[in-house]
């Protein structure tokens, strides 16, 4: 029997009709585990609620709390659930009210409270979706599985790291995968070894699905979203973008890492560890072929896709002394390691290192202080990292001309090619990003 894990994103949980489609797909694919996101926009609303409560802006906070409750109560009523389920939803509302009360009293938003409040989005949507699936699939026992009992993580609130062995152990002991049972569970959330609620980072439901697929030794992991698969670039930016039917793990991982929002950057790693194929398709056009991600793709075009990661900052650290240049590099990278900040794009010279990071990283005051302790730090922001994802990029000498003619009048602030044969990155001002993508897509993909 083949074990299928299906994940449905926020738009696929957005209203009753979308939930019904997701349920229909789960039945057609004979899913054993269905992992769902919060309803579209709810995680953003919960973030807003947490911030408003902890700054004492109670009247706006209450309005937002009301909106969240009203939406989910309305959805639950459409499922014609019984009073027990309504009671469970009300318990989640009580949890939300208590958290809001605490935040407003303490006027402090701790990372632990933040994760707890964010977890409510997925816990509400999964409760409702289970009802939808249950009524549409009477031949199966449809359970609600609390992801916090399975997705075990460390205590790095906000972006917790999963503990793979624990997840596998929990999947083994909690799931009966005999074709009669179906589990609806939450994406995005988990718990640490003390039982505190944690989250895997924004967009983390894709990652949850892949982790469960790995833990449950699934045969396939399906990501159902609002686009018909992974495209050559974001179809909302370039309407000529086309869906890629087959991608290698490596290419998909590079795309996700460098900004293709359709997949959370960590999604591919669990799939690679167990060789699980990943499918990406649209809940709203389920008959389309979508994208399959496997260890090898038959075709290996020079340029497969183009991605953009917005809101990047460029940090340049210059050594105060020419005599310690080698120790200086290791000091810098150990600071990144200590703060668990990944380096996306880097160039070095004898006396300085330039690194791009997400702009949000600048809020980490201790990280910035630590960098300042090793050298002179210069910060520039407002950049986009544009990445060309492809194959054997360092053997394609003729391509440089096409790339630079397409970007003739663009000021490229930094470039990196050579660390991997799969990508070529360069940094441009945020406002130039869209036009760069459109021009590169035309030159390297549409006219290739």
Using CB under 6 A, list all residues that contact ligand ADP: 9-11, 37, 203, 225-227, 230-231, 233-236, 260-262, 305
Q: What CA–CA distance (Å, rounded) separates 94 from 363?
A: 32
Residue pointed to by tokens 């300085």: 352
Query: What is the full DSSP assignment across 227-278?
Result: SSS-BSS-TTT-TT--B-SEEEHHHHHHHHHTT-TTS-TTTHHHHHHHT--E
Question: Going residue by residue from 6 to 35, which x/- string records binding to ligand ASP, judged by CB under 6 A?
Answer: ---xx-------------------------
Length of the chain: 448
The residue count for binding ligand ASP (CB under 6 A) is: 12
Phi, psi torsion values for 21, nearest 5 degrees: -65, -45
Query: Cα separations (Å) of 195 from 117, 216, 258?
Result: 15, 21, 33
Residue 121 touches which member of Mg ion, ligand ASP, ligand ADP, none, C-beta under 5-8 Å by kind: ligand ASP
- Could you tell which of Mg ion, ligand ADP, ligand ASP, none binds residue 163, using a CB distance below 5 to 8 A set by kind? none
121 binds ligand ASP (CB under 6 A): yes
185 binds ligand ASP (CB under 6 A): no
Q: How many CB atoms lie within 10 A of CB 48?
A: 17
**Where are any strands of DSSP class E within 283-323?**
291-294, 303-318
Rounded Cα gap, residues 435 and 410, in angstroms? 10
Q: Which residue is nearest to ligand ADP (CB)?
A: 9
Q: Is there binding between residue 203 and ligand ASP (CB under 6 A)?
A: yes
Q: Quote the tokens at residue 76.
A: 């639950």
Helix (H) or strand (E) holding 103: helix 83-106
Nearest approach in angstroms of CB 15 to ligand ASP is: 16
- Which partner, Mg ion, ligand ASP, ligand ADP, none, binds residue 281 by CB below 5 to 8 Å per kind? none
CB 184 within 8 A of CB 145: yes
Phi, psi of 435 (to 5 degrees): -65, -35
Q: What's the closest the beta carbon of residue 83 comes to ligand ASP, in angstroms?
A: 28
Asked if 268 and 276 count as a contact pair (C-beta separation under 8 A), the reply is: no
As a whole number of angstroms, the distance between CA 177 and CA 6 comes to 14
Helix (H, G, I), strand (E, B) or coil at 323: helix
Question: Which residues of the shown chain bind Mg ion in the complex (CB under 5 A)?
Answer: 9, 203
Q: Is 186 in the site for ligand ASP (CB under 6 A)?
A: no
The residue within the footprint of ligand ASP, chosen from 37, 54, 225, 250 (CB under 6 A), is 37
Binder of ligand ASP out of 8, 114, 188, 426 (CB under 6 A): 188
Residue 199 vs 303, nearer CB to ligand ASP: 199
Question: CB-wise, 125 or 307, nearer to ligand ASP?
Answer: 125
Using the minimum distance from each CB to ligand ADP, give the nearer residue, 289 or 327.
289
Q: Whose Cβ is closer to ligand ASP: residue 217's or residue 236's?
A: 236
Question: DSSP letters along 45-64, please?
Answer: HHHHHHHHHHTT-HHHHHHH
Minimal distance, residue 93 CB to Mg ion, in Å: 25
**Partner touching 162 among ligand ASP, Mg ion, ligand ADP, none, CB below 5 to 8 Å by kind:** none
| Least distance in angstroms from the C-beta of 104 to ligand ASP | 24
229 is a contact residue toward ligand ASP (CB under 6 A): no
User: Least distance in Å: CB of 222 to ligand ADP?
Assistant: 12
**For residues 207 and 328, which CB has a smaller minimum distance to Mg ion in the complex?**
207
Contacts (Cβ under 8 Å, ≥6 apart) of 109:
50, 51, 53, 54, 103
Identify which of residues 258 and 336 has a Cβ nearer to ligand ADP in the complex: 258
Nearer to ligand ASP, 12 or 54 (CB): 12
38 binds ligand ASP (CB under 6 A): yes
Sheet holding 303-318, edge to edge: 345-348, 352-358, 303-318, 376-390, 423-429, 414-417
The position carrying tokens 């409560």 is 53
Judged by beta carbon, residue 44 or residue 86, the one nearer ligand ASP is 44
Site for ligand ASP (CB under 6 A): which residue of 31, 120, 175, 187? 187
Q: Is the CB of 71 or the CB of 169 nearer to ligand ASP?
A: 71
Yes or no: say if 124 and 39 are a contact pair by the CB < 8 Å rule: yes
| Chain contacts with ligand ASP (rule: CB under 6 A) | 9-10, 37-38, 43, 121, 187-188, 202-205
């Amino acid at each position: 029997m083949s074990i299928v894990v299906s994940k449905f994103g926020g738009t696929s949980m957005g209203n009753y009709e979308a939930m019904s489609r997701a349920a229909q797909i789960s039945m057609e694919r004979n899913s054993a585990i269905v992992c769902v996101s919060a309803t579209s926009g709810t995680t953003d609303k919960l973030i807003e609620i947490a911030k408003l409560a902890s700054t004492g802006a109670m009247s706006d906070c209450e309005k937002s709390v009301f909106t969240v409750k009203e939406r989910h109560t309305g959805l639950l009523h459409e499922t014609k659930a019984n009073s027990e389920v309504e009671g469970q939803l009300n318990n989640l509302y009580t949890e939300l009210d208590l958290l809001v009360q605490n935040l407003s009293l303490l006027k402090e938003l701790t990372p632990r409270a933040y994760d707890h409040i964010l977890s409510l989005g997925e816990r509400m949507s999964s409760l409702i979706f289970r009802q939808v699936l249950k009524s549409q699939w009477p031949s199966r026992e449809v359970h609600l599985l609390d992801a916090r009992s399975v997705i075990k993580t460390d205590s790095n609130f906000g972006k917790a790291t999963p503990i793979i062995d624990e997840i596998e152990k929990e999947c083994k002991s909690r799931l009966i995968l005999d074709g009669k049972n179906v589990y609806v569970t939450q994406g995005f959330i988990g718990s640490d070894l003390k039982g505190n609620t944690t989250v895997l980072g924004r967009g983390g439901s894709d990652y949850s699905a892949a982790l469960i697929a790995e833990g449950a030794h699934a045969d396939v992991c399906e990501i159902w979203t609002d686009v018909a698969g992974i495209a050559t670039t974001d179809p909302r930016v370039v309407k000529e973008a086309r869906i890629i039917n087959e991608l290698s793990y490596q290419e998909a991982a590079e795309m996700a890492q460098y900004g293709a929002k359709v997949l959370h950057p960590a999604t591919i790693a669990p799939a690679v560890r167990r060789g699980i194929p990943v499918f990406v398709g649209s809940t709203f056009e389920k008959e389309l072929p979508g994208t399959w991600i496997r260890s090898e793709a038959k075709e290996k075009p020079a340029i497969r896709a183009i991605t953009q990661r917005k809101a990047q900052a460029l940090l340049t650290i210059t050594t105060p002394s020419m005599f310690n240049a080698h120790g200086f590099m290791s000091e810098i990278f150990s600071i990144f390691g200590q703060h668990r900040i990944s380096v996306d794009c880097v160039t070095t010279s004898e006396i300085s290192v330039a690194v791009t990071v997400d702009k949000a990283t600048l809020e980490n005051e201790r990280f910035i202080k630590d960098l300042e302790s090793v050298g002179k730090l210069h910060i520039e922001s407002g950049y986009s990292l544009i990445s060309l994802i492809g194959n054997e990029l360092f053997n394609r000498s003729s391509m440089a001309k096409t790339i630079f003619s397409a970007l003739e009048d663009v000021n490229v602030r930094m470039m990196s090619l050579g660390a991997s044969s799969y990508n070529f990155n360069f940094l441009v001002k945020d406002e130039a990003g869209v036009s760069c993508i459109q021009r590169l897509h035309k030159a390297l993909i549409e006219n290739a």
